[in-house]
Amino acid sequence: MKLMKRTVTLLLAACLLLGAIPAVSAVEGFSGVDAWFEPSLREMQELDLLPDSYYGMNVSKNITRGEMCELAVHALEKIWGYSIDPERTDYFSDTSADYIVKAYELGIVSGYPDGTFRPNARLTRQEFFQIIENFCNAAAFLPEADESYLNKFDDKGAVAAWAREAAQICVKYGYVNGRGTDQGAQLDPAGATARDEAMAMFLRAYKSLNEYYYYIKNAQVSVDDNTGSSGGETGENTVVDNVEITGVDMHMLVDTDTLNVRSSWSTDGKILGTVRYGADLTVTGLCANGWVQINYKGQTAYVSGDYVTEYQEVDHDATEGAVEVANYALSFVGYSYVYGGKDPSTGFDCSGLMYYCYGHFGYSLNRVADDQMNNGTAVSYDNLQVGDLVFFGSGTYANHVGMYIGNGNFVHAANPSSGVRVSSLNETYYANRYIGARRIIVD
């Protein structure tokens, strides 16, 4: 089978075969296009940044909440190189649109207290600011806010408290320039956002994000300066239902076959789910009655302290052998994803890549991702080292695996659309699905 190589850079504009683009008007299929917006619209078309539903739009009209979701999700999937699969579709009473559900799960948008999303409602400018910040965070790009950047706007005090940080970020990074009025430069936070304004500002954010991804996706193995700390006590005590809980920031390991996760610190608590042997737990509190408070799928939950244990402290860097395996795995970036594949001549699936790379150096792994969670030794998230296997899934089942390469990144056979690639553990999609790690090479 002829090997299909894929590009590893995400500078999409550089990859376009511009000579193959038909010689048609860049604004064909749109109405209401002002001269100032035409270059941005042309660039968005060339980058394939516009969802199909955008064609035929009057871009001078106000953008809706639903339309903004679709643009943001389409862009993220372009950056990542694969389509996102939502876990549920019933979050809102008034819509189950695929792109809205995806945007919600990625933390880009939220709904209203009454359970609605209101996809056809107009998007205010400060809502747009917040979506841009959330969009960057979902892609693991964490811009820093700076209050001073709002000083030039006469109406900075009108920005809602919940949108202030987002407004600072949008102005600081050049995504938003403000509106010129007789009263001076204005953010107009409560005003509607026209489609052309939203698209032009979003394009700036997308290009900034693409530059960031260019650097992390062309990663080299980098051994972290990691001392193996598993966290420590924060010293803040709380009382929940008459039980004192000492706040901590640490990771612990499940050491029983299957452990129930409950809504409170006793067996009377509702079972929220289960975690299995070797699972990495983010511990937020130690209960005086022996239970352990954890972060479970974004909410506070509890497990019995009888069935968890602390990680052993490790004070060494990644072994030379593990670094060698990780560099070998990186040599396959760009190869095809093939279900069941486990060698370069055919391509790889996620566990097949791990199986092949470690096998090349004489280490035998199980063949399936979930079974590979039984190989090696469990390690905490805080103690990840180059060469560790990182696992993702839902509940106790691992349906995806990659290899940690340092600096928060991992190499993996992602899916058929993007093949073997480098991703960040901080991407919302992976951060929400991370369930543990195993070390194969131990001194």
Residue 55 falls in which region: left (phi positive, over 0), alpha (psi -120 to 50) or beta:
beta
Q: What number of other Cβ atoms are within 10 A of residue 182's Cβ?
A: 5
Burial string for 249-283 (b: 16+ CB within 10 Å, else e) reads: ebbbbbeeeebbbbebbeeebeeeeebbbbbbbbb
Sign of CA dihedral 389, 394, 396, 399: negative
Token code pair at residue 14: 């550089």
User: What are φ and ψ of residue 274, in 5° steps?
Assistant: -135, 155
The contacts of residue 368 (CB under 8 Å, 6+ apart) are 351
DSSP-assigned letters across all residues of 351-397:
HHHHHHHHHHTT----SSHHHHTTSSEEE-GGG--TT-EEEEEETTE
d(CA 199, CA 208): 14
Q: Would you call 412 a catalytic residue per the annotation? A: yes
C-alpha distance from residue 347 to each of 298, 353, 416, 420 (Å): 35, 8, 10, 9
d(CA 125, CA 123): 7
Q: What number of other Cβ atoms are within 10 A of residue 372's Cβ?
A: 22
From 170, 287, 350, 357, active-site residue: 350
d(CA 36, CA 200): 10
Q: Would you call 400 a catalytic residue per the annotation? A: yes
d(CA 242, CA 239): 6
From 74, 170, 251, 412, active-site residue: 412
The candidate with the shortest Cα–Cα distance to 358, out of 318, 389, 400, 397, is 389
- Tell me if 123 sits within 8 A of 133, measured CB to CB: no
Q: Would you call 360 a catalytic residue per the annotation? A: no
User: What are φ and ψ of residue 337, in 5° steps?
Assistant: -90, 125
Token code pair at residue 270: 């509702």
Q: Catalytic amino acids?
A: 350, 400, 412
